[in-house]
A = this chain, B = another copy of it.
C-alpha cells in the first residue's frame, strides 16, 4: 500500500533505522510496505553511509512535517529544539509520530500527548527508554492489567559501565570516566549521564506509562554518581551489596491512590537481586505489580542497531493500524457508499496511545521510607559511635549495622546502615550529627534498595 515516512535526522539512530528499513527481507513482511519518502538533515554535503534516491534528502524539515503525502513522521534529531516544535507541527498536520527523544517527552509530554489525543494520532516512543529493549509497549499492552507499584531501571549505560569498572577494577571515578571517554562510552561533557539527568528523563517516561499519570521531569528527585567513591564500593561489597545508579518509580504505600516516589540515585543493591548482575553498558528494567510479581527486561541500552529496532517496531505498530484503516475504507468503498471513507478510526486503539489522564500525586523525597548507608569521618576518640547512635535515636532512626574498621589519615571511618526510616527524619538526624565536635565530615550518603 505504501506507507510514507518522513524521517527527521540522519545521525546514528536515523541511519540505523534507514538501513533496517531498506534491508527488509527476513523481517516482518509489513515492513515491505514502507516507503522512505523524505529524510530531513541539517547539511546536504555531509557524507552518508546510506544511499537514498535523489530528492529524498532535504534540509527543509518544516516541509516534511506538513507534507500531505506523509503518514508517519520519525523524529530522531535529539535535543529539545527544533525537535519539540517539529513534533507538535507534525501532530497538528495529522501525522503519527515516532520519536526516540526522551528529553522532549520527559519535559513536554503533557503538551504533546494532549495534542495527539485531539488530533487522533499516535505518538510512539519505544526508543526513548532502554534502547532496543521492548519495555514501553509491553507496559502499555501486557503489564497494564496489573496494579504496577514499582518500576526500577538501570537505564543509563555510561554510569553502569563506570560503576561496573570501579567495582571490578577498584579504580576511581575520575580514572574510569577518562577511560570511558576514550572508548566512546562517555561524552566529552559527561554531565547528562553522570549527574543522572538522562536517567531522570527516562524514569519520568516509565513512571508516566506505568501509572497512567503524566509524570514530568520536574517531579523527579535526582542524584548522580560523582559522590560514589572506591571506598563506598568496597564497603558495599563487604556488606553484600553492589552500587548501581537506579531510576525508581514506586508507590509509597500499598493503597491504590498512593503518591508516587520518582527518583534517580546511586543505590546499594543486594547481590542476589536481579539488578545486581546487570553489568557494563547493558540496561535492565524491573517491573513489579499485582498479581504478576516481578518481571525484568534486559538488553542493550544504546547503539544504532538496538535503537533502530525500537524505532522500527513503533513504525511497524502504526503501519499495522494504518493497514486496518485501509481495509475498512476499502470495505466501505466496495459497498458503493456515497460517503467518504472514514479515517483515524482504526487508530483509536487504546493500547497504542499513551494513557496519561489519571490523577497522581508525587511524594516529596522527605516522605520516602528507605534504608540508608552513610559513611562518617570522625576524630579517633572513644564514644563517637555512642554519640552517633544517640543522635539517630533522638530522631527515630534505628540502626541495623555500625562498622568501624578503616582510617583515612588521622580520622576514623564509621559506616552506618539504618533500618527503614523516613528520609526527612534521617536528614534531621544528619544535620544534628554534622554539628557534633567529634564529626569531621560525612563523605557519603546512599540509599539501600
CB contacts (< 8 Å) of A342 on chain B: these are: 328, 331-332
CB contacts (< 8 Å) of A339 on chain B: these are: 335, 337
B-binding segment of A1-9, A85-93, A291-299: A291-299
Question: Smallest distance from the beta carbon of A299 to chain B beta carbons, Å?
Answer: 3
Count this chain's copies in the assembly. 2
Question: Which chain B residue has the least Cβ–Cβ distance from A277?
Answer: B277
CB contacts (< 8 Å) of A387 on chain B: these are: none
Name A134's contact: one of B138, B306, B310 (CB within 8 Å).
B138
CB contacts (< 8 Å) of A295 on chain B: these are: 132-134, 297-300
A202 CA to B277 CA in the complex, in Å? 26
Question: Smallest distance from the beta carbon of A173 to chain B beta carbons, Å?
Answer: 24
CB contacts (< 8 Å) of A355 on chain B: these are: 28-29
What are the interface flags for A327-353 relative to B under an 8 Å C-beta threshold, 1 for contact and 0 otherwise?
Answer: 110011001010100100110111100
Cβ < 8 Å to B, chain A residues 287-328 = 289-300, 303-306, 308-310, 312-313, 315-317, 320-321, 323-324, 327-328
CB contacts (< 8 Å) of A294 on chain B: these are: 299-300
Name A293's contact: one of B27, B305, B350 (CB within 8 Å).
B305
A150 within 8 A of B: no
Name A296's contact: one of B138, B298, B351 (CB within 8 Å).
B298
Name A351's contact: one of B292, B297, B308, B317 (CB within 8 Å).
B317
Decide if A320 touches B349 in the complex (CB within 8 Å): yes
Decide if B328 touches A345 in the complex (CB within 8 Å): yes
A142 CA to B327 CA in the complex, in Å? 23
Q: How many residues of A contact B (CB 8 A)?
A: 69
Name A324's contact: one of B25, B309, B315, B345 (CB within 8 Å).
B345
Known: A138-B138, A298-B298. A316 touches B349 (CB 8 A): no
A141 within 8 A of B: yes
A163 within 8 A of B: no
A396 within 8 A of B: no
Decide if B293 touches A299 in the complex (CB within 8 Å): yes
A368 within 8 A of B: no
Decide if A346 touches B317 in the complex (CB within 8 Å): no
A30 within 8 A of B: yes
Write 5 A-B pairs (CB below 8 A) sorted by A numbering: A20-B291, A132-B295, A138-B142, A142-B313, A295-B297
